[in-house]
Amino acid sequence: MPRPPLLRVIDWEEVFNSGRDFDTWMDEAESDANRDEMAASLSRLKLEADVAQGIAGLKRPVHVVAIAEDWCGDVIRHVPALQCMAQAGSQLRVRFVTREQYLDVFTRYLTNGGEAIPKFIFLSDQFVECGNWGPMPEACRKMISRGKACGDVGAARKLVSAAYDADPGLKVVVRELYELVQTTSADAP
């Protein structure tokens, strides 16, 4: 017989339904400047054809709970990529929550023991967790981890900044998010 879970079972449908859609989340932004920066970034983003077609062709919903707050630089940078993808097809559904709103959920997604956002949790049409992403692309997370390991996080942050500068169209982020969309909408293992 399986053991009972150590952590509270999350009602992902409830969490998702309690979240705000993108427009409401943006309207409630703490910073007009950050909101404007995200809106400008979103307006510049263009999805590659295969990603746009894949999202437009989703046969069932993919739900994403985005733990995001507009004061954070990584949120400002990466949320527009997720929203651009959501605009490509009605089956990719995103809702925004805050860390404080669901502290017990957020603490499950710490990054190397630290509080970092955004965190995007991908849920199937049945609200089963299928993966998560954040707060930055995988290669950048590894740079920060190596910086922590050798005691030079400042140098790691400079490398991350250079990686961000080298990808103004957020193609790396979109590819990683799209892989999670594909996993979450899979018809077979």
Residue 158, pLDDT > 70, answer: yes
User: In whole angstroms, what is the distance from residue 56 CA to residue 51 CA?
Assistant: 8
Rounded mean pLDDT, 127-146: 97
Mean of per-residue pLDDT scores for the chain: 96
Residue 4, pLDDT > 80, answer: no
Confidence of residue 1 (pLDDT cuts 50, 70, 90): low
Long-range contacts of 24-30 (CB under 8 A, 24+ apart): 25/68, 25/70, 25/96, 26/70, 29/70, 30/69, 30/70, 30/71
Q: How do 119-123 and 92-97 pair as beta strands?
A: unpaired
Given this model, what pLDDT does residue 165 score?
A: 97
Given this model, what pLDDT does residue 109 score?
A: 92
- Helix ranges, the chain (H): 12-18, 22-27, 32-44, 49-56, 73-86, 103-106, 138-150, 153-165, 171-184
**Percent of the chain at pLDDT above 90?**
93
Per-residue pLDDT of 87-111, as tens digits, reads 999 999 999 999 999 999 999 999 8
Residue 155, pLDDT > 80, answer: yes
Q: Given the structure tokens 């400079």, which residue do they identify?
A: 158
User: In whole angstroms, what is the distance from residue 46 CA to residue 41 CA?
Assistant: 10
Q: What is the value of pTM for the model shown?
A: 0.94
Domain chopping of the chain, boundaries: 12-135+169-184
> How far from 36 is each of 39, 95, 132, CA to CA, in Å?
5, 19, 26
Given this model, what pLDDT does residue 63 score?
A: 98
Q: For domain 12-135+169-184, give the fold.
A: Glutaredoxin (3.40.30)
Per-residue pLDDT of 43-92, as tens digits, reads 999 999 999 999 999 999 999 999 999 999 999 999 999 999 999 999 99
Given this model, what pLDDT does residue 169 score?
A: 96
Q: Given the structure tokens 């692309």, which residue do they identify?
A: 137
**Residue 93 and residue 61 in contact, taking contact as beta carbons nearer than 8 Å:** yes
